[in-house]
Amino acid sequence: MSKFFLLFKAIFFFLKIICVFSYPEIKNFSRKDPIFSDLKIKVLKYNKKQHIPLFFYLYKVKKGDTFFKIANKINGWQSGIATVNLLDSPFVSVGQEILIPSKKGVFVFDSKDYRFNNLLLATRDLTKAEKVKIKRNDRVYEFYFFDFAKNPDFGLFSGTELLFFLNANFIFPLKKFIVSSDFGFRNDPFTGNKSFHTGIDLAAPMNTEVYSSSSGIVIEAGYNDLYGNFVVVGHKNNIKSLYGHLNSYSVKIGDFIKSGEFLGRVGQTGRSTGPHLHFEILKKNIPINPLKLLK
């Protein structure tokens, strides 16, 4: 293989990587804002299937803004705004800086540090995407961009991905149960001493089906002396749910699981006085009362 050919391949590969390090700022979503007008022109051309380069525009969230209001200003391109900003849910705060792309599509970051991004990584072939380098807060992020015009199958959220992005509710993990022990201080059933119960106990017959309380990704599944067979599911906003004393479980680490999806069966493994589900919800690894979130 000639040196000329190798040089040509290197140049071609470099040109395939789009580098974007500065962003014009949209002050207001109005025709009087020249930057917003420029974005609208590019969106119009893109929708007419005209070739345009990939640009990004910066917008700072204002009071009264929502994720959907912002997305609707550019024809509801939710997937692109959500993924290029590494959002796990449609919640934005005043002053937050949001990047808005000039093309419709999905951006996938090759990292497992972001929960929703993990789902995108698991469902897409990165070799079919364009590489895009974006600078944010003195750090360069390399994304894989699935352009909807070129790859409509992967250039939008699937139904499962959209459900994961939107769903923030928790449901009871059992259909029929009795709350046999509440969250908070109680007398330990083994020692009789006062101790803090970090979850709630839901009494139910052996092998009763257990369901995921909310959509998420299984981050732990195994056995220990306290919980016996247990499963931990990671959700959005630094929330986890734990299912303990299971007789058996049917999921493994890395599985995406929908809200209400079967994950195991009630048992009495570990430190347990009888068949029940020990159920915990943790926010930033601190147990909170599940009854405040459950519906």
pLDDT over 90 at 264, yes or no: yes
Residue type, 238: N
* Domain range annotation of the chain: 3-166, 178-292
Tens-digit pLDDT profile for residues 51-66: 889 999 999 999 888 8
Distance of CA 140 to the CA centre of its chain: 21
**pLDDT score for 117:** 83
**pLDDT score for 268:** 97
Q: Which of 1-5, 229-233, 255-259, 262-266 has the lowest mean pLDDT?
A: 1-5
**pLDDT score for 8:** 40
Top mean pLDDT of 14-23, 190-199, 247-256 is at: 247-256
The secondary structure of the chain, three-state, reads: CCHHHHHHHHHHHHHHEEEECCCCEECCCCCCCHHHHHHHHHHHHHHCCCCCCCCEEEEECCCCCCHHHHHHCCCCCHHHHHHHCCCCCCCCCCCCEEEEECCCEEEEECCCCCHHHHHHHHHCCHHHCEEEEEEECCEEEEEEEEECCCCCCCCCCCHHHHHHHHCCCECCCCCCCEEEECCEEEECCCCCCEEEECCEEEECCCCCEEECCCCEEEEEEEEECCCEEEEEEECCCCEEEEEEEEEEECCCCCCEECCCCEEEEEECCCCCCCCEEEEEEEECCEEECHHHCEC
**pLDDT score for 292:** 73
Span 97-121, mean pLDDT?
87
pLDDT cut 70: percent of the chain above it: 90
Span 96-120, mean pLDDT?
87
CA distance 112 to 16: 24
**pLDDT score for 14:** 38
Span 179-195, mean pLDDT?
87
Span 254-276, mean pLDDT?
93
**pLDDT score for 6:** 42
* Residue, of 167 and 86, whose pLDDT is higher: 86
186 forms beta bridges with 195
**What is the distance between the terminal CA atoms of the chain, rounded to a whole angstrom?**
65
CA distance 11 to 237: 41
In this structure, the dihedral spanned by the alpha carbons of residues 184, 187, 193 and 194, taken in order and rounded to 10 degrees, is 30
pLDDT over 50 at 181, yes or no: yes
Give me 206's structure tokens.
């052996």
CA distance 187 to 22: 60
pTM of the model: 0.56
pLDDT over 90 at 136, yes or no: no
The domain over range 178-292 is classified in CATH as 3.30.530.20: no
Span 201-230, mean pLDDT?
95
